[in-house]
Amino acid sequence: MDDIFSGIANRVKYDLEFKAGQAISDTVAKGAGKVMGKDKGGAAGPTNACPKCKKAIPDPRPKFCPSCGSALMVTCKKCNAEYPAGTNFCTGCGTKLGK
Q: Where are the domains of the chain?
A: 60-99
CA of residue 83 relative to chain centroid, distance? 9
Confidence check: pLDDT of 56 > 60: yes
Q: For residue range 75-95, what is the model confidence (pLDDT) as tens digits? A: 889 998 888 888 899 888 989
Q: In the predicted model, what is the mean pLDDT of residues 41-61?
A: 70
The secondary structure of residue 71, as a DSSP letter, is B
Amino acid of residue 78? K
How far, in whole angstroms, is CA 71 from its chain's centroid? 17
Answer yes or no: is pLDDT of 48 > 80: no
C-alpha to C-alpha distances, 53 to 35, 58, 70, 81, 87, nearest whole angstrom: 22, 14, 8, 25, 18
Question: What pLDDT band is residue 40 in, cutting at 50, 70 and 90?
Answer: very low
